[in-house]
Amino acid sequence: MRRTASRLTWADVTPKAAFLNRRSLIAGAAGLALASPALAKLSYVKSRYSTDAAPNSFEDITSYNNFYEFGLGKEDPAENAGALTVDPWSVAIDGLVEKPGNYDLADLLKGVALEERIYRFRCVEAWSMVVPWIGFPLSQLLDRVGVQPGGKYVAMETLVRPKEMPGQASAILDWPYREGLRLDEAMHPLTILATGLYGEEMPKQNGAPIRLVVPWKYGFKSIKSVVRISLTDKEPQTTWNMQNPNEYGFYSNVNPEIDHPRWSQATERRIGAGLFGGRQPTLMFNGYGDEVAGLYAGQDLAKDF
């Protein structure tokens, strides 16, 4: 499932002229303005962790997604994210770290080697995409700030700005959106902080200017528009586990053997496959089992779901 000598780029999937033309059409409604001078030109290398699957189109990825801060509909983020201010941007890093502080995004990215990682992306509603993310391992950041010996978990929070994020006017969730990983999950080389996709800066509706991507977990674990990263010695609260602990566990690994209480997870629908594209079997750990199954040796994944 991994790439060898040849690797796809966006140009292999979509002609550049068509890509740029469609991107300009989407930009008006989707808020694709530059996120930051620090990201004005994304320079990156291809990653050995990329899947062999062809990526979804830019339109699929930027027009059909969940970002409840901008509304409950799949199209709401693209329609409502344009007003979000993403420059300047800073991320508070605190808790059990050696170098806590409020880090400007540009400083956060200094010395970082960005990679393109084409990852399978699975949503709990049983739909999936393949996304060419641009980012860097979260472990690089954690190594820079220094995790203290007592640090066992990484907690993250999304921006709260109701004037620019109209979905936050609703009490459907307890804002800010919160997520968390066990430290070994956070340090795993597959776990990245993404700052772009398809060779471009991260669109606002996809979590600009910086978001988490954890490809073996359901998409809601990949928190968007991150403003706080905290190291803690206790399992942190996470939004969907707080909202409904019987349906959303802390780990949230893709596991086709454990159904969501309201629907099956055994199969998935690939976005962009068309009306007759059919469904396909869901892969354990979203197909990344060879890399991550060892993290959960000895755990009961029906209990630790």
Q: Does the pLDDT value for residue 48 go beyond 90?
A: yes
Q: Does the pLDDT value for residue 193 go beyond 70?
A: yes
> How much is the pLDDT for 131?
98
Lowest mean pLDDT among 98-112, 122-136, 264-278: 264-278
Q: Does the pLDDT value for residue 26 go beyond 90?
A: no
d(CA 100, CA 279): 46
State the average pLDDT over residues 117-126: 96
User: Which residue, among 119, 129, 134, has the nearest Cα to 62 in the 3D structure?
Assistant: 129
> How much is the pLDDT for 37?
58
Lowest mean pLDDT among 32-46, 84-98, 108-122, 149-163: 32-46
Domains delineated in the chain: 10-296 (3.90.420.10)
- What are the tens digits of pLDDT across the range 229-240? 999 999 999 999
> How much is the pLDDT for 52?
94
> How much is the pLDDT for 78?
97
Q: How many CB atoms lie within 10 A of CB 248?
A: 20
- 63-67, Cβ contacts within 8 angstroms, sequence gap of 24 or more: 63/26, 63/30, 63/205, 64/271, 65/205, 65/206, 66/123, 66/219, 66/220, 67/167, 67/205, 67/206, 67/207, 67/224
- What proportion of the chain, given as a percentage, has pLDDT over 90? 81
Q: pTM of the entire structure?
A: 0.89
